């Protein structure tokens, strides 16, 4: 169920399979194991190559979903024929829609003050899902275990099945990993900017731009000051690491 891209195992069964398993796990009495799931984009994969601690965290997650189109291309070049893009905002929306008529309880964590509450309203009006049972907007400096325990108690008291975390990377991954020790949920899912996309704070790239794997370029045009420096670093490194990764893969096959 995984193929390695830049050294990180990515889920290779496609969006529909990921959504179906998530919903089925919550409704069919499987054990609550607080499974960690990340919608992992190029930024995450490049950072994991440079930061051993972050790499270990991604490797410990139950799933790393291929958030970007280039990761899908690399996976297919390595022979993963069923792999498909599992874009964080799409995964969030699909799970919300497919669980709308089920007793699956969602908790929203992240975004600036008020964003999570607004997203809960959108889940109700747009996705037909009225099962968002709580929200929380953490500060930027949650350090103590006591604070994490208190957040965990709030989420657990709501009998949460899926905790959605919408923060920047890698902050959301470290936060999710630490918080998991205090949770009794089925899934903890980091979806990055999904909260901002669905509340209209950030615009989606046009579909044809996404299919071309150029969403990063569109986002630079939309938010040049914030995202320009990041992507001008990430994109060349991702291409460089990807060439090495593919060459090594085919070298081993020929050997």
Beta-carbon contacts of residue 12 (< 8 Å; ≥ 6 apart): 1, 2, 3, 66, 75, 80, 82, 83
As a whole number of angstroms, the distance between CA 43 and CA 219 comes to 13
Residues 99/73, Cβ–Cβ less than 8 Å: no
- Number of neighbouring beta carbons within 10 Å of residue 78: 17
pLDDT for the residue numbered 254? 67
Q: Which one is predicted more confidently, 132 or 113? A: 132
Q: Which one is predicted more confidently, 147 or 160? A: 160
Find the mean pLDDT for residues 112-132. 94
Tokens read off for 109 = 């964590």
The mean pLDDT value of the chain amounts to: 93
- Number of neighbouring beta carbons within 10 Å of residue 251: 9
In which band, very low, low, confident or very high, does the pLDDT at 205 lie, cut at 50, 70 and 90?
A: confident
Q: Which one is predicted more confidently, 228 or 11? A: 11
Strands of the sheet containing 187-190, edge to edge, are 63-66, 35-40, 187-190, 162-166, 106-110, 132-136
For the chain, domain boundaries:
2-205
DSSP 114-142: THHHHHHHHHHHTS----EEEEE---S--
Residue 67, pLDDT > 90, answer yes
pLDDT for the residue numbered 170? 95
Q: Nearest to residue 213, comparing CAs of 185, 193, 242, 190?
A: 242
- Residue 5's H or E segment, with its range, is strand 2-5
H-type alpha helices, 34-167: 42-50, 52-60, 69-77, 88-98, 115-125, 145-157
Q: Which one is predicted more confidently, 96 or 140? A: 96
pLDDT for the residue numbered 6? 97
SS3 content of the chain, % helix, strand, coil (to 5): 55, 15, 35
In which band, very low, low, confident or very high, does the pLDDT at 85 lie, cut at 50, 70 and 90?
A: very high
Residues 71/45, Cβ–Cβ less than 8 Å: yes
Residue 144, pLDDT > 90, answer no
pLDDT for the residue numbered 107? 98
pLDDT for the residue numbered 101? 97
The arrangement of secondary structure in 2-205, i.e. its CATH architecture, is: 3-Layer(aba) Sandwich (3.40)
Residue 60, pLDDT > 80, answer yes
Per-residue pLDDT tens over the stretch 94-105? 999 999 999 999
pLDDT for the residue numbered 96? 98
pTM: 0.94
Find the mean pLDDT for residues 212-238. 87
Residues 246/77, Cβ–Cβ less than 8 Å: yes
Tokens read off for 81 = 């024929």
In which band, very low, low, confident or very high, does the pLDDT at 138 lie, cut at 50, 70 and 90?
A: confident
Torsion of CA 245, 248, 252, 255, to 10 degrees: 160
As a whole number of angstroms, the distance between CA 31 and CA 34 comes to 9
Residue 50, pLDDT > 90, answer yes
Residues 29/70, Cβ–Cβ less than 8 Å: no
């Amino acid at each position: 169920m995984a193929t390695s891209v830049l050294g990180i195992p990515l889920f290779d069964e496609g969006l529909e399979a990921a959504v179906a398993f998530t919903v089925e796990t919550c409704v069919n009495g499987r054990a609550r194991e607080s499974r960690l799931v990340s919608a992992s984009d190029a930024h995450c994969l490049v950072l994991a190559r440079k930061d051993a601690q972050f790499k270990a965290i991604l490797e410990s997650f139950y799933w790393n979903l291929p958030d970007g189109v280039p990761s899908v291309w690399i996976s297919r070049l390595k022979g993963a024929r069923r792999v498909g893009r599992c874009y964080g905002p799409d995964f969030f929306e699909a799970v919300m829609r497919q669980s709308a008529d089920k007793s699956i309880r969602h908790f929203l964590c992240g975004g600036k003050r008020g964003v999570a509450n607004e997203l809960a309203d959108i889940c109700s009006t747009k996705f037909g899902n009225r099962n968002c049972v709580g929200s929380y907007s953490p500060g930027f400096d949650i350090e103590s275990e006591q604070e994490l325990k208190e957040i965990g108690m709030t989420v657990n008291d709501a009998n949460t099945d899926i905790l959605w975390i919408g923060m920047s990377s890698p902050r959301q991954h470290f936060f999710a990993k630490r918080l998991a020790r205090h949770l009794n949920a089925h899934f903890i899912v980091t979806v990055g900017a999904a909260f901002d996309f669905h509340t209209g704070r950030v615009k989606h790239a046009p579909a044809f731009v996404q299919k071309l794997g150029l969403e990063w370029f569109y986002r630079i045009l939309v938010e040049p000051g914030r995202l320009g420096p990041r992507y001008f670093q990430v994109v060349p490194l991702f291409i460089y690491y990807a060439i090495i990764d593919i060459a090594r893969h085919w070298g081993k096959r020929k050997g």
